[in-house]
Amino acid sequence: MSAISIGQAVILGVVEGVTEFLPVSSTGHLKITEGLMDIPVDDKAVVAFTAVIQVGAIAAVLVYFFKDIVRIVGAWGRGLANRDQRQHHDYKFAWWVILATIPIVVVGLAAKPLIEGALASLWVVAGSLIVGSALMWAADRMGKRTRGEADTTFKDAMLVGSSQILALLFPGFSRSGATMSTGLILDLDRVAATRLSFFLGIPALTGAGLYELKDALGAGVDTAPLVVGTLVSFVVAYASIAWLLKFVANHTFNAFVVYRILIGVLLFALLGSGVLTA
């Protein structure tokens, strides 16, 4: 029997949708929410459920950036068929996204037992929230923000894509936070760093969700909570993406840094007092 009810699926879907693309750690917030609802965070069915509902958030990215994706995929297809088209930036960008996804896939498969075991602790989440905040704060000040999306290179894609490993190994670090911070350190402007983070997240998160789907169904997660959680995460994530792109165009990441530190400290307090168990 599933450990997650319809009502809990709605709540987790909202949390996933709000936090997946904001640099605040969706994994961390999901684990905190599950802990507060007495849902066992290390249960295989729960781990699989949270991975699957990410597909709803990814679907929101696909819809929001549909025109961009069609343009990039089209350029990739034309480049495969015609050598003369291979100098187009979109053709190169498509390959960069594919290649930049390889590191996180390799680490994810190799370290899966560790990721779902010791590193799933809420103590790790609390520490990662705070450490990740330091990286974001430094990146926001180090970056010159002199390069736009058209200026991205293979090096940018590989470094930003590889930075997703930090969030994979240390839940609470935030995939978005790690990728956006890396983009800023490479002197991309905030909008370019954010959009690159979105595009690089599509294959990684979609693959993770589909990979976990069989485990979710096999582990006893009912179909209804999965569907509800995924649909809710889609709707909320779409709104979150639109808001974030407008926000980063005119603001620093300071608000996210402060929020992450507060949540990290609060989580340490809840764990230390026994309100939550790791």
Report pLDDT for 219. 61
Report pLDDT for 9. 94
C-beta separation of 241 from 68 below 8 A: no
pTM: 0.86
CA angle 222, 14, 61 (to 5 degrees): 95
Report pLDDT for 118. 79
Report pLDDT for 108. 87
Count the Cβ atoms, other than its own, within 10 Å of residue 247.
15
Task: Profile the chain (278 residues) by mean pLDDT over runs of 10 residues.
Answer: 81 95 87 84 76 87 94 96 92 96 91 81 91 94 91 96 92 91 95 94 81 66 87 96 93 94 92 82
C-beta separation of 164 from 200 below 8 A: yes
Report pLDDT for 1. 41
Residues 6+ away with beta carbon under 8 Å from 207: 101, 105
Q: Compute the radius of gyration of the chain from its Cα atoms.
A: 18
Report pLDDT for 2. 53
Report pLDDT for 26. 85
C-beta separation of 48 from 221 below 8 A: yes
List the one residue out of 198, 160, 190 whose CA is nearest residue 65.
Answer: 198
